[in-house]
Amino acid sequence: MDKTLQEQIDILKVTIKSLSDEVYRNNFSSHQDFNKSSNFTSSLKVPHYELVPIVGEVGQIIEVGGVLYICSSPNTFTIV
Domain interval for residue 70: 5-32+39-79
Radius of gyration from C-alpha coordinates of the chain: 22
Strands 67-73 and 61-64: antiparallel
pLDDT at 27: 57
pTM score, whole prediction: 0.51
pLDDT of residue 47: 92
In a 10 Å sphere around its CB, with 0-12 CB exposed, 13-18 middle and 19+ buried, how is residue 69 labelled?
Answer: buried
Residues 6+ positions from 57 with CB-CB distance below 8 Å:
71, 74
pLDDT value, residue 51: 94
Question: What pLDDT does residue 28 have?
Answer: 56
pLDDT in 10s for each residue of the chain, 80 residues: 578 999 999 999 999 888 877 666 655 566 667 677 777 777 778 999 999 999 999 999 999 999 999 999 999 999 99
**pLDDT at site 31:** 65
The count of domains in the chain is: 1
